[in-house]
Chain A
Amino acid sequence: MTAPLIEGLYREGDPIADTAAPAGPIAEKWTKHQFDNNLVNPANRRKLDVIIVGTGLAGASAGATLGEAGYNVKSFCYQDSPRRAHSIAAQGGINAAKNYKGDGDSIYRLFYDTVKGGDYRSRETNVYRLAEVSADIIDQCVAQGVPFAREYGGLLDNRSFGGVQVSRTFYARGQTGQQLLIGAYQALERQIAAGTVKMYARHEMLELIVVDGKARGIIARDMVTGEIETHLADAVVLASGGYGNVYYLSTNAMGCNVTANWRAHRKGAYFANPCYTQIHPTCIPVAGDHQSKLTLMSESLRNDGRIWVPKRREDCDKDPREIPEEDRDYYLERIYPAFGNLVPRDIASRQAKNMCDEGRGVGPKVGDFRRGVYLDFKEAIGRLGEDAVRAKYGNLFDMYKQITGEDPYQVPMRIYPAVHYTMGGLWVDYDLQSNVPGLFVTGEANFSDHGANRLGASALMQGLADGYFVLPNTIRNYLANGPFEKVDLTHPAVVEAQDSVEGRIQELLGINGERSVDSFHKELGNIMWEYCGMERTEEGLRKAIDLIRSLREEFWRNVRVLGSADTLNQSLEKAGRVADFLELGELMCIDALHRRESCGGHFRAESQTEDGEALRHDDEFAYVGAWGWGGDDGSPILHKEDLQYEFIELKQRSYK
Chain B
Amino acid sequence: MRLTLKIWRQSGPSDKGGAVTYPIEGVSEDMSFLEMLDVLNEGLIAKGEEPVAFDSDCREGICGMCGVMINGEAHGPERTTTCQLHMRSFRDGDEIVIEPWRADAFPVIKDLCVDRGSFDRIIQAGGYISANTGSAPDAHATPVPKSQADRAFMAAECIGCGACVAACPNASGMLFMGAKITHLGEFPQGQPERDARVLSMTAQHDEEGFGGCTNLGECSRACPKGIPLNVISQMNSDLLRAQRHQA
Q: Which residues of A contact B12 (CB under 8 A)?
A: 567-568
Alpha-carbon gap, A562 to B46, bound state (A):
10
Q: Distance (Å) between the CB of B75 and the closest chain A CB? A: 12
CB–CB A405/B42 < 8 A: no
Q: What B residues does A182 contact at CB under 8 A? A: 156
If the complex has contacts A88-B62, A562-B51, are A154 and B133 also in contact, measured as CB distance less than 8 A? Answer: no
Q: Mark A566-600, 1 if CB is under 8 A from B, else 0.
A: 01101100000000000000000000000000000
- The answer on a CB contact under 8 Å between B128 and A187 is yes
C-beta contact mask, B54-72 vs A, less than 8 Å → 1, else 0? 0111111011110000000
* Complexed CA–CA distance, A173 and B154 (Å): 10
B229 at the interface (CB under 8 A from A): no
- Cβ–Cβ < 8 Å partners of B134 in chain A: 136, 140, 468-469
Minimum CB–CB distance for B64 against chain A, Å: 6
Residues of B within 8 A of A143 (CB): 129, 131, 135-137, 189
Count chain B residues whose beta carbon lies closer than 8 angstroms to a beta carbon of A: 76
A372 → chain B closest CB, angstroms: 13
* Cα separation A139 to B142 with both chains bound (whole Å): 11
* Binary B-proximity of A128-151 (CB < 8 A = 1, otherwise 0): 000000001011111111011111
Task: Give the Cβ gap from A569 to chain B, nearest Cβ, in Å.
Answer: 8
Question: How far apart sit A439 and B123, CA to CA, in the bound complex (Å)?
Answer: 30
**Closest CB-CB distance, A105 to chain B, in whole Å?**
15
A151-B146 in contact (CB<8A): yes
| Inter-subunit contact B60/A293 (CB<8 Å) | yes
Q: Tell me if B102 is interfacial: C-beta within 8 Å of chain A.
A: no
- The answer to whether A178 touches B146, judged by C-beta atoms less than 8 angstroms apart, is no
A323 interfacial contact with B, CB 8 Å: no
Please determine whether B183 and A147 come into contact, CB atoms closer than 8 angstroms: yes
B11, B62, B143: residue with the most chain A Cβ atoms closer than 10 Å: B62
Known contacts A83-B64, A291-B35; decide if A145 and B53 are in contact (CB<8 Å).
no
Q: Assuming A84-B57, A145-B189, is B86 touching A405 (CB within 8 A)?
A: yes
In the assembled complex, A126 has its CB within 8 A of some CB on chain B:
no
| B80: chain A residues within 8 A (beta carbon) | 402
Q: State which of B23-31, B165-173, B210-218, B232-240 sits at the interface with chain A.
A: B23-31
Whether B51 lies near A570 (C-beta < 8 A) is: yes
Contact of B153 among A140, A172, A364, A516 (CB under 8 A): A172
Chain A residues whose CB sits within 8 angstroms of the CB of B46 once the complex forms: 516
Interface segment among B1-9, B91-99, B109-117: the answer is B109-117
Structural contact, A86 and B124, CB atoms closer than 8 A = no
**Of B34, B55, B62, B128, which contacts A178 at CB under 8 A?**
B62
B206 contacts the other chain (CB 8 A): no
Q: In whole angstroms, what is the CA distance A193 to B196 when docked? A: 14
* Most-contacted residue by chain A among B63, B135, B143 (CB, 10 A): B63
Say if the beta carbon of A518 comes within 8 Å of chain B.
yes
Known: A145-B190, A254-B59. A292 touches B34 (CB 8 A): yes
- Identify which of residues 189-235 in chain B touch chain A, using a CB-to-CB cut-off of 8 Å: 189-190
Q: Which of A80, A177, A518 has the most CB of B within 10 A?
A: A80
Q: A405 near B30 (CB under 8 angstroms)?
A: yes
The answer to whether the Cβ of A79 comes within 8 Å of any Cβ in the partner chain is yes
Contacting pair B119 A81 (CB below 8 A): yes
Q: Is the CB of A155 within 8 A of B58?
A: no
A156 at interface (Cβ–Cβ under 8 A)?
yes
* A255 in the interface (beta carbon within 8 A): yes
Alpha-carbon distance between A224 and B56 when the two chains are bound, in angstroms: 15
A residues less than 8 Å from B115 (CB atoms): 80, 224
CA distance A103 to B158 in the complex (A): 35
Q: Is B50 interfacial (CB-CB < 8 Å)?
A: yes
Chain A 412-435 near chain B by CB (<8 Å), digits 1 or 0: 000000000000000000000000
Interface positions, chain A 275-297, Cβ under 8 Å from B, are 287-288, 290-293, 295-296
B245: Cβ under 8 A from any A Cβ = no
Partner of B45, one of A141, A290, A562: A562
* A152 in the interface (beta carbon within 8 A): yes
Beta-carbon contacts under 8 Å, A159-176 to B: 172-173, 175
Q: Is the CB of B45 within 8 A of A253?
A: no
Among the listed B28, B53, B84, B153, which residue makes an inter-chain contact with A403, where contact means beta carbons less than 8 Å apart?
Answer: B84
Which residue of chain B is the closest to A138 with respect to CB atoms?
A: B139
* Residue numbers in A under 8 Å from B63 (CB-CB): 79, 83-86, 88-89, 253
Task: Give the CA-CA distance A292 to B54 in the complex, in Å.
Answer: 14
B45 lies within 8 A of A190 (CB): no
Which residues of A are found within 8 Å of B187, using beta-carbon distances?
145, 147
Give the total number of A-B pairs whose CB atoms are below 8 A apart: 215
B143 touches A155 (CB 8 A): yes
Tell me which residues across on chain A come within 8 A of B140, comparing CB atoms.
Answer: 100, 155-156
B35, B132, B139, B160: which has the most chain A beta carbons within 10 Å?
A: B139
Complex interface: chain B residues within 8 A of A65 (CB)? 132-133
Residue B20 lies at the interface, judged by CB distance under 8 Å to chain A: no
Say if the beta carbon of B242 comes within 8 Å of chain A: no
Tell me the smallest distance from the CB of A270 to a CB of chain B, in Å: 29
Cβ-defined contact, B60 with A89, below 8 A: yes
Which residues of chain A (37-95) have a CB below 8 Å from chain B? 61, 64-65, 68, 79-86, 88-89
Alpha-carbon distance A141/B156, docked complex (angstroms): 14
Asked if A568 meets B139 with Cβ closer than 8 Å, knowing A147-B156, A178-B159, the reply is no
Contact status B32-A189, CB under 8 Å: no
Bound form: Cα–Cα A81–B122 in Å:
12
Q: Are A179 and B156 in contact (CB under 8 A)?
A: yes
* Residues 34-45 of chain B, each 1 if its beta carbon lies under 8 Å from chain A, else 0: 111011001001
| Smallest beta-carbon distance B152→chain A, Å | 4
Most chain B beta carbons < 10 A, residue from A142, A296, A402: A142
A86 touches B58 (CB 8 A): yes
Q: Say yes or no: is B241 at the interface (Cβ < 8 Å to chain A).
A: no
A213 adjacent to chain B (CB < 8 Å): no
Q: When chains A and B are docked, how far (Å) is the Cα of A154 from the Cα of B145?
A: 5
Known: A143-B131, A190-B124, A288-B31. A79 touches B65 (CB 8 A): yes
Query: Is A25 part of the binding interface, using a Cβ–Cβ cutoff of 8 Å?
Result: no
The answer to whether A139 touches B138 (Cβ under 8 A) is yes
B19: min CB distance to chain A, Å = 19
Query: Taking A139-B136, A224-B109 as contacts, is the C-beta distance between A253 and B59 under 8 angstroms?
Result: yes
**Chain A's nearest CB lies how many Å from the CB of B14?**
11
Inter-chain contacts of A493 with B (CB < 8 A):
none
B residues in contact with A100, CB < 8 Å: 140
Instruction: Tell whether A351 is near chain B: CB-to-CB under 8 Å.
Output: no
Measured in the bound complex, the distance between the Cα atoms of B157 and A509 in whole Å is 41
How far is it, in angstroms, between the C-alpha of A405 and the C-alpha of B31 when the chains are bound? 11
A516 pairs with B42, CB closer than 8 A: yes
Given the known inter-chain contacts A80-B116, A81-B119, A571-B45, please indicate yes or no for A89 contacting B62, CB distance below 8 A. Answer: yes
Q: Assess the A150–B124 pair: CB atoms within 8 A.
A: no
Closest 4 CB pairs of A and B: A154-B143, A143-B136, A186-B128, A143-B131
Query: Can you list 6 A-B pairs, Cβ within 8 angstroms, ordered by A?
Result: A80-B116, A84-B64, A143-B137, A145-B152, A150-B144, A173-B153
For the complex with contacts A201-B120, A292-B32, 13 further pairs of A-B residues with Cβ separation under 8 Å are A83-B63, A84-B58, A88-B62, A140-B134, A147-B187, A172-B153, A178-B157, A185-B123, A187-B128, A192-B120, A290-B38, A567-B11, A570-B51
Residues of B within 8 A of A (CB): 11-12, 28-32, 34-36, 38-39, 42, 45-46, 48-51, 53, 55-60, 62-65, 80, 84, 86, 88, 109-110, 113, 115-117, 119-120, 123-125, 127-140, 142-146, 149, 152-153, 156-157, 159-160, 183-184, 187, 189-190
